[in-house]
Structure 1
Amino acid sequence: MESSEAASRTLSEAELEAVRERHKSLIGDVAQNSAAVEMRLRGMMIALLDSKYAGIIAAGQSASDLVENCIALMQANQEIGDAARERGLELLRSLKPLFAQRNNVVHAPWFPSMREDALTEAVSLVSKRRSPIRPMLVNYAEVEKLSAALNQAIGSIWEWTHGELGAAAKRPQVN
């Protein structure tokens, strides 16, 4: 167990700068991976729509809208087998909590302390529509897990789309 002196040690300027850089790196990793997931979701929606105009319809939709629209399209598509549909729906549903976490990580400001706990966590001020700002503890290891889960989803979405929808995933689009 750590002594209270060690737990309350003030970080040096170099350590504080390292903390700030880690924040930027973690946020950047989550933002980059979530953008790639969004791109894959857009590709999935395009393949599910299977129309030369699908790219226009999918363009500009938020990740949440893409997930919901892909779920609806997957449920309605009679050409997808039951097992494939269940795998696809499970994959899409697993993204919802990841994007909720992503929003808290990317859109809320982080405030590390000047103490040693800043090496592993920070306080984030989350603001949701029509509700007061609430502080949340941001654990860096959890943010790394979120980034890894988003990174894994990139491949999973691609594999499902190209494995289950095949040619529809390669259909030419209107430009």
Structure 2
Amino acid sequence: MFNVENSGTERRILSEAEQKSARERRWSLVGRVAQESASVEMCLRSLMVKLLNSKYADIIAAGQSATDLIENCIALVQANEEINDQTRERGLELLRSLKPLFAQRNNVVHAPWFASSYEESLTEALSLVSKRRALPRATVVNYAEVEKLCNDLNAKLPEIWSIERAVRRANDSL
């Protein structure tokens, strides 16, 4: 929840222009998270295709959610006998590190955000996160944390491509 208790100072209501600017920032953040996560999903799909190493791999990987891609890639990295132990360890560490990022991503992209008309809406909003068979839970969305999520997702792209290249080289050596 927003911190409405104050040490005697009065809360400032934002002007219409400030509220509009804050709203556009929220929309921009949601869009950026969606774009960064879509890029990671594309890379995961490509990694899964290389791990499957089959003419039907594109069909199998198509349409899978990011969570399914991560889980399937973990299983395939563990089972793949062609990749070396260093690549396997790096791949598993990378894939496991994606799980919490996609959990955050889901909360940012799929939960509605509600901002106040006060100054705190310049840095945070209230979000109603709803999980299956559970009541919605109010959570504070800090914009700086969402920007960090975007950066963290983007930073995973070259790591995924590196693993994908190592798997492709292993496949080519067969």
SS in 2 for 1:137: strand
Q: Does 1:5 align with 2:9?
A: yes
Runs of 4+ in 1 over 6 A off after TM superposition: none
Q: Which runs of 5+ in 2 are unaligned?
A: 1-5
CA drift at 1:155: 1.7
What letter is aligned with 2:95? L
CA distance in 2, matches of 1:51, 1:72: 16
Aligned to 1:14: 17
Once the two structures are superposed, residues 104-151 of structure 1 have per-residue CA deviations (whole angstroms, 9 ceiling, x without a partner) of: 000001011111111110000000000000100000000000000011
Aligned to 2:149: 146
Aligned to 2:76: 73
Aligned to 1:38: 41
SS in 1 for 2:104: helix
Q: Which runs of 5+ in 1 are unaligned?
A: 170-175
CA distance in 2, matches of 1:4, 1:55: 61
Aligned to 2:59: 56
CA distance in 2, matches of 1:74, 1:20: 42
SS in 2 for 1:136: strand
CA drift at 1:156: 1.2
**Aligned alpha-carbon RMSD (Å):** 1.5
TM-score by length of 1: 0.91
Cα distance change, pair 149–59 in 1 and its aligned pair in 2 (3 A): same
CA distance in 1, matches of 2:52, 2:140: 40
Cα distance change, pair 168–42 in 1 and its aligned pair in 2 (3 A): farther
Q: Does 1:90 align with 2:97?
A: no
CA distance in 2, matches of 1:17, 1:3: 28
SS in 1 for 2:139: strand
CA drift at 1:5: 3.1
TM-score by length of 2: 0.92
Q: 1:130 aligns with which of 128, 133, 145?
A: 133
Instruction: Note if contact 2:83-2:166 (Cα within 8 Å) is conserved in structure 1.
Output: no
